[in-house]
Amino acid sequence: MHVRLLGPVEVRTAERWEPITAAKQRHLLALLVVHRSRTVPVPVLIEELWPVDPPATARALVRNYVMRLRRLLGDDDGSVIVYGPPGYRLDLPPGRSDAELFRAGVAAGRRALDEGDAVVAVRHLRAALSLWRAVPLADLPGEGMVGVVRRELEGVRDAGRELLIDARLVTEPAAVVPELRVLAAQSLREYRWGQLMRALWLSGAPAEALGCYGRLRAAMAQRYGAEPGPHLRELRDRIRAGERGRTTTGVR
């Protein structure tokens, strides 16, 4: 059995992916997947499935949803969705959830980049980000555990995108300039502007990189009354020093 969470919830037990049409069963399976191999107490499941005014028959309904999920998953002996006081756990082998594969791929990309292998980092990060189909758990309500997991996954995706740009700055800096122009224009986030400055510098456009610093500095002064931080100032100084060295040696 495999499960997709990076979009609408889907399961694959044979040859194709299938949605789970019943909303409460879909919600219950997602809760068990994100707590893989850990028992989720029945009272917690009830609170998640019915955040307001749970029915008096909530415990019986949870048992019924579990029974239907087992039938859907071919879990006739209860060895996949396992009951053990005080609740249920999903015995799913590692790597059967796209969310888990995604996190592992981002972590592998980060390790490769830290070890100086940008080519491998790009491969891992692109593969991880390609698993996304839509908003995580898109067909579930956004409160409770679902909301927490959704925000956590979106945070990892944002980090993965930044890591991918960092890796591509090593392998193909000119290729990321158009994307970074758009991203930098959307915010005054210094890290993003630093990426654009590095991309321009490495692409042979140091004057434009320094111009980016000047634009960011003016915008930050106007909005916040503040200067760019030391990381960006150090990058500016390195670009300036590189330009002075090129001028001194007569290289243009």
What is the pTM assigned to this prediction? 0.90
Q: What is the DSSP letter of 92?
A: -
Phi and psi at residue 188, in whole multiples of 5°?
-105, 25
Residue 243 has pLDDT above 90, yes or no: no
Q: Are 97 and 5 in contact (CB under 8 A)?
A: yes
- The reply to whether CATH 2.40.10.220 applies to domain 174-252 is no
Comparing 2-90 with 174-252, is the CATH topology the same?
no
The CATH number corresponding to 2-90 among 3.30.450.20, 1.10.10.10, 3.40.710.10, 1.10.3720.10 equals 1.10.10.10
Tokens of 68: 């239907």
| pLDDT, tens digit (0-9, with 9 covering 90-100), for 72-119 | 998 989 999 999 999 999 998 999 999 999 999 999 999 999 999 999
Distances (CA, A) of 193 to 85, 157, 166, 170: 52, 19, 12, 17
Q: What is the residue extent of each domain of the chain?
A: 2-90, 174-252
What value does the mean pLDDT take over residues 178-187?
94
Mean pLDDT of the chain: 93
